[in-house]
Amino acid sequence: MGRSPLATLVVVIGLVAFARIAAAHDVRGEVLFLDIGEHVVGIEVQVPAHQLELARRAPFADDAALAAYVTTWVGGTARDGRPFTPSVRRLALQHVGDGEVVDIQLDLAAPPGATARWFELRDDLVLQRVQTDTVYVFVRRDVQTGITGDDGEHPELAGYLHYQQRTLAIDRSAGRWTTAFGAVFRLGMRHIAEGTDHLLFLLVLLLPAPLLAARGRWSGRRTSREALRATLVIATAFTLGHSLTLAIGATFGAIVPARIVEVLVAASILVSAAHAWRPLFPGRETWIAAGFGLVHGLAFASALAGFGLDRPSLVLGVLGFNLGVEAMQLIVLLVALPALVLLARRVPYALLRRAGAAGAAIAATWWIIERLR
């Protein structure tokens, strides 16, 4: 049976009107990320600002009222029905694309005797009033199942919350500490292997290792045993330095702005390159390496952001990551040092050393300029 022209016109007008209504209302939902520890769950919620304002019937304001609202409508429940204790860490309004998003960060602490590896999640920030809202829930970090939250690692989709399903059971009980240790160990190794600045710093430190300093110049050669001993002492000092600030940074968060840390790391390469060209601090390399280690440890700590949720996760993260860093550093030393000792005896090593120092200095200077912009 054919449709009359009038009926067709009504349908077309209705579709156009619906399209305009949909275009006028951003239907994107919330995105919720979980960082799961042993006793604490870190949560980051990103919710379109207009949806939160519609649900609260109030504009955004980083105040006690919004914090109370968040702890009322976001929560978790243990297997025995006891609630997790929420605490808000951050409330911020961010511009994303052509809209605004409220970024909410909070922690859920498991009740005494309960674990955070199984809980029932609830997020009614918007759902309690806006029935069309959808919450996409991802596990961003759970080291016991091998998810470290490293750059380039995609979060694992855990499920959805919508008006017909207001809670979601999060079951991470299959995780193992052995898996967690292996994951953070590999993360530490990869941080050195893929970290151009850290790797370049190590190589520049090794350039003068086969040499002896006299009267302000590199003028003599060490034996293989002496070169190895000197390198191990310097590497140990560097390890002690970065281990200290790595533990502090992972425990208390960023204690120095990331931009400043990146500049200081580049500066450490520049100073080491100058020392490789001409000895600046002969006999004091151990102390300089320890000082530079403190700086590099602050940079390493950024890779463990979020591991300080609770003590077991923090201890495992710092220990495994640090051992991974040391393992990769040892590999670099074992490969590079014998080659440098051999080259120092068979080629014009002064030319090679200065070329390497100059290249490192140029790269470090460029990084400093780029990071100060």
Asked if the structure places residue 259 within a domain, the reply is: yes
Residue with tokens 């991974």: 324
- Structure confidence by residue, pLDDT tens digits, 306-330: 665 667 777 778 888 889 988 998 8
Q: Which amino acid is at 194?
A: E
For residues 265 and 274, give the distance between their C-alpha atoms in angstroms, rounded to a whole number. Answer: 15
Asked if the structure places residue 141 within a domain, the reply is: yes
Q: Mean pLDDT by 10-residue block, N- to C-terminus, for the chain (373 residues)? A: 46 38 49 93 94 90 91 95 95 87 95 94 92 92 84 84 92 86 87 85 86 82 85 88 85 77 92 91 84 88 68 78 89 87 82 91 93 84
| 210 plus 152 within the same structural domain | no
Structure confidence at residue 132 (pLDDT)? 86
Burial class (CB in 10 A: 0-12, 13-18, 19+), 227: buried
Torsion angles phi and psi, residue 19, rounded to 5 = -60, -40
For 67, left (φ over 0), alpha (ψ -120 to 50), or beta?
Answer: alpha
Burial class (CB in 10 A: 0-12, 13-18, 19+), 45: buried
| 89 plus 212 within the same structural domain | no
| 230 plus 157 within the same structural domain | no
| 171 plus 201 within the same structural domain | no
* Range list of β-strands (E), 13-70: 30-36, 40-48
| 105 plus 219 within the same structural domain | no
Q: What is the DSSP letter of 173?
A: T
| 123 plus 188 within the same structural domain | no
Q: Can you say whether the dihedral through the CA atoms of 140, 146, 151, 152 is positive or negative?
A: negative
Asked if the structure places residue 17 within a domain, the reply is: no
Structure confidence at residue 307 (pLDDT)? 64
| 231 plus 359 within the same structural domain | yes
| 203 plus 156 within the same structural domain | no
For residues 320 and 2, give the distance between their C-alpha atoms in angstroms, rounded to a whole number. Answer: 72
pTM of the model: 0.72
| 167 plus 185 within the same structural domain | no
| 155 plus 214 within the same structural domain | no
Domain that holds residue 121: 26-175
